Amino acid sequence: MNKRYSLDLSTNPTETVLGYQRQIVYHVHFWSLIAVAPLVIVQWANGHALLSLLLALFCLNLVLVILFLRTRNRYLFKGRFFALFAIACTVYSTVINGHNGLFWAYSAIAAIFFLLSLREALSVNVIFIVVMSTVSFMRFPEQEFWRIAFSLSLTGIFVGVFAWLVGRMQKELTELATTDPLTGCLNRSQLADLLNTQIQLRERYERVATLVLIDIDHFKAINDRWGHAAGDEVLTALAARLKRRLRDADQLFRIGGEEFMVILPETRHQQAEELANQLLSTIRATPVRDDIQITASAGVTEVIKGETWSTWLNRADQALYAAKDAGRNRMISVRGSARENPDFEEPESPTNGAA
């Protein structure tokens, strides 16, 4: 395989974020188990059998989630049973134990924001705070009720804002890590995963996909003659032209300096050839500036059942190099090891020698 397509799968930003999220889930459940387990015995000894049962069920949920995270790397129940048991135990404990139960509400609010999606956590915590405020109104003096209601509400607001900002930061950092800042295309960080996804769909469900590699012809000459700012303008314009022509399901990557790749799901080889020719026509149709006419070459290949992503990508790369060797400004496709369309006719539109 061509070395320029060797990718480190461990650097996938999405997987990195998910890894941190699983660590948060694990630690919240683990330390909750450490804190809650002794209370099962304490409440039983105090004659609160129902509360002890609720706490035992809560601990069982915590153990199951921890085991599934450790053994299957799967987030069981998505935090919903945690929220249910935490609220039930806290409310009932406040009813029978007063302040000793109330104190757990603050940590429960924070944990719910870490374990549920932001929208779910907001809805659940609003209900939780309303119920706790109602119980406090019936259980404690009026002055304490107001302190409790406001302190619970402020805790929910502060932790909610923090969770929202952390989620927004994660999203923006992931976008920065997975998107080419110049063109807005996807970068190579998720390339292997997305190619593997298409291969798995081919293996399991006979769903096809085709790769198109596109490389700007004589791009170095553009940088040498007009400067790197003009080169960046060419890259941006080309990416914009490709995006306008592609479907929402198609995925556009910038994988090299002047090289782009398109994953075309649910697209047969012949359809991809037609689209590739249309893309090349779109690229050369209009100068980027009055004095910069560009053309590009393309390699096309459909995924083959049983192959790896690297083999698939390398075959597309070979097709692209064949198009370059054949004179540029053209598309060549490859099926397996057999080259298709080796005598592809160059379009009528002239090719600018500096493009």
pLDDT single digits (tens) 139-164: 999 999 999 999 999 999 999 999 99
pLDDT of residue 209: 95
pLDDT of residue 43: 96
Confidence grade of residue 336 (pLDDT, cut at 50, 70, 90): low
Q: How many CB atoms lie within 10 A of CB 172?
A: 10
pLDDT of residue 25: 95
Minimal CA–CA distance to 222: which of 286, 282, 280, 291?
291
pLDDT at 136 over 90: yes
pLDDT at 352 over 50: no
pLDDT of residue 11: 55
Least confident among 82-86, 202-206, 240-244: 202-206
pLDDT at 58 over 50: yes
pLDDT of residue 267: 94
pLDDT single digits (tens) 281-305: 999 999 997 789 999 999 999 999 8
Q: What's the chain's average pLDDT?
A: 89
Which pTM was predicted? Answer: 0.70
pLDDT at 2 over 50: no
pLDDT of residue 291: 82
Give the integer Cα–Cα distance in Å for 180 and 212.
Answer: 18
pLDDT of residue 77: 93
Minimal CA–CA distance to 155: which of 124, 118, 116, 129?
129
Strand arrangement, sheet containing 338-340: 251-254, 259-265, 209-216, 296-302, 331-335, 338-340
Minimal CA–CA distance to 9: which of 196, 171, 203?
196
| Percent of the chain residues past pLDDT 90, beyond the cut | 79
Give the integer Cα–Cα distance in Å for 309 and 305.
Answer: 11
pLDDT single digits (tens) 33-54: 999 999 999 999 999 999 999 9
Give the integer Cα–Cα distance in Å for 96 and 93.
Answer: 5
pLDDT of residue 16: 74
pLDDT of residue 122: 96
